[in-house]
């Protein structure tokens, strides 16, 4: 099976743009990513709304205007897109990520299950579905959001469910740079999957985002890394052959005894 070239869009930088500006940035990134052979573009947590602003005020349904616009971008450039947005469902608002296909139809929608701090708990309802997956060009793709990946259990659940590439749109703040630098490669290694960790960057209100977006491979190496400051677009391959090799050399999953754990 051929590698899945994946584009990681680090940004936006600083004050969140309007939805129109965010969509324009996404369209430009999709054009560049497609020209570079990418089949999947991943944007950051709450990409369409901003993180530190009132996300409930910008929330919309999973099939709302923002989703329709992203679907059009995906179809225009022939690649799948995963993006963060605040999802309204009745009286609840979720911190969500939607994955759309190159043909513009939705493949998956994930709601963040582990909310970080009082700020997120004020605005969002926690999701209760831990493993959400879809196929992109024959690769089994899963989704978590930011704080979710800092718990080993959700990542291992994805590995056991067959996830090969785990997308993690993120709004990680300083001074927690150890997460992308150290923890993300370990998560990839211990569960033998790829982790696409895609962060915001710059200052937004009192929040200073750490950047350092990366694609970590199942052998614990980092295949691509963005800087600490500034917007960036990374292109790197998620190669199923590396997953097979990692699982051959590292037998964590084969040796696991889940019956021992409640």
258 in a structural domain: no
Is 214 an active-site residue?
no
The whole-number average pLDDT for the span 64-86 is 97
Is 122 an active-site residue?
no
146 in a structural domain: yes
**pLDDT tens-digit series, residues 192-209:** 999 999 999 998 888 899
- Give the count of domains, the chain: 1
Which residue range forms the structural domain that includes residue 172? 4-253
Q: Is the pLDDT reported for residue 16 higher than 80?
A: no
Annotated active-site residue in 60, 87, 120, 146: 146
What is the pTM (predicted TM-score) of this model?
0.97
Is 45 an active-site residue?
yes
Q: Is the pLDDT reported for residue 17 higher than 90?
A: no
259 in a structural domain: no
Tokens representing residue 63 in the block: 């099939």
107 in a structural domain: yes
142 in a structural domain: yes
CATH number, domain with residue 172: 3.60.110.10
pLDDT, residue 205, reads 81
Tokens representing residue 228 in the block: 């600490």
Q: Is the pLDDT reported for residue 54 higher than 90?
A: no
90 in a structural domain: yes
105 in a structural domain: yes
Higher pLDDT, 21 or 237: 237
Residues 6+ apart with CB under 8 A from 117: none
153 in a structural domain: yes
């Amino acid at each position: 099976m051929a590698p899945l070239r994946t584009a990681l869009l680090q940004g936006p930088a600083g004050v969140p743009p309007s939805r129109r500006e965010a969509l324009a940035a996404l369209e430009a990134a999709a054009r560049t990513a497609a020209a570079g052979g990418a089949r999947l573009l991943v944007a950051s947590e709450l990409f369409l709304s901003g993180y530190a602003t009132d996300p409930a005020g910008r929330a919309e349904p999973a099939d709302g205007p923002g989703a329709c616009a992203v679907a059009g971008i995906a179809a225009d450039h022939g690649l799948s897109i995963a993006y963060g947005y605040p999802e309204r469902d009745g009286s609840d608002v979720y911190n969500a990520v939607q994955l759309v296909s190159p043909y513009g139809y939705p493949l998956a929608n994930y709601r963040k299950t582990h909310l970080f701090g009082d700020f997120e708990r004020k605005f969002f309802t926690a999701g209760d579905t831990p493993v959400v997956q879809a196929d992109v060009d024959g690769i089994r793709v899963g989704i978590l959001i930011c704080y979710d990946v800092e718990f080993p259990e959700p990542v291992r659940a994805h590995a056991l469910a067959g996830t090969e590439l785990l997308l993690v749109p993120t709004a990680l703040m300083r001074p927690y740079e150890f997460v992308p630098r150290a923890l993300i490669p370990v998560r990839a290694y211990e569960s033998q999957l790829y982790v696409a960790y895609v962060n915001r960057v710059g200052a937004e209100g009192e929040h200073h985002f750490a950047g350092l977006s990366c694609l970590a491979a199942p052998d614990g190496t980092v295949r691509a890394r963005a800087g600490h400051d500034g917007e960036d677009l990374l292109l790197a391959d998620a190669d199923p052959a590396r997953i097979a090799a990692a699982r051959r050399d590292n037998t964590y999953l084969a040796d696991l005894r889940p019956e021992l754990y409640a």
